[in-house]
Structure 1
Amino acid sequence: MKSYIFLDDLCFYAHHGVGGQETLVGNEFTVSLRLKVDITRAAATDEVDDTVSYADVYQSVKAEMDVPSKLLEHVAGRIIKRLFADFPQVEQIELKLAKRNPPMGADIKAAGVELECGRADCPLL
């Protein structure tokens, strides 16, 4: 059985960007996660200690989003590293990080990065 925990469209206001205005004013960002986790034990016990708490995952992601960076690639890499460090039960992470309405002179909803890493083969670790 494959099992996952997901968090869709976490919203943050943060100060990531290359331009001075972006880092000063900030922008809205979204993060979506899909974490491969064996939830077999939690399904049987009904105990949060037997799974990965998505409230705790949110706090880890928020801590990384609060650190200003120029590149979303850098922020995404930090989030991946943090989640693998904080949650040893996580086997694989799929992450989507997007900046809403980026200042690039285009009519665009969002732009960003997507990463997928397994604990055993992640080059970021």
Structure 2
Amino acid sequence: MGIIRVNNIVIYTNHGCLEEEAKIGSEYRVDLEIKADLNKSAVTDELKDTVDYVHLNKIAKEEMNVRSKLLEQVAKRIIDRIFSEIEMVEEAEVSISKINPPIGGNVGEVTIVLQETRKS
């Protein structure tokens, strides 16, 4: 089993429960970690035998651009697409951070993390 991480995907979009968040938007950071068998690609040196991190980045960006009130829903959509589109992924973890959230104080970020294992 191996791990691929795609970290610090920065996206400006408009998630949140407040009306102002929908209009103004905020900066978000997405971090992905997937687990898959990377032994074959370590030998073959072929992209077709591994998880393409370009594909992971594309999924994260596309789902982040679909408005939701809660980041949990966005993370779940990202995980569902990873499992649907990339068969060799066994586990996926998605962290989404809202940078400078509007919560009435000096808070650098708020982060949610969802992790799932592929169901047989």
What's the TM-score, normalizing by structure 1?
Answer: 0.92
Aligned-partner SS, 2:69: coil
**1:32-51 to 2 correspondence within 5 Å?**
32-51=31-50
Match of 2:61 in 1: 62
Aligned to 2:17: 18
Quote how far apart the aligned CAs of 1:112 are. Answer: 2.3
Deviation, 1:15, is: 0.8
Aligned twin of 2:95: 96
Q: Structure 1 unaligned runs (5+)?
A: none
**Root-mean-square deviation (Å):** 1.0
Task: Please state whether the residue corresponding to 1:93 is helix, strand or coil.
Answer: strand
| Structure 2 residue aligned with 1:72 | 71
2:28 paired residue number: 29
Provide structure 2 residue ranges, at least 5 long, that are not aligned to the other structure: none
- CA distances 1:41-99 after superposition (whole Å, capped 9, x unpaired): 11001110000100111011111011011111111111111111111110001111110
Query: How many percent of aligned residue pairs carry the same amino acid?
Result: 38
Runs of 4+ in 1 over 4 A off after TM superposition: none
**Greater fraction strand:** 2
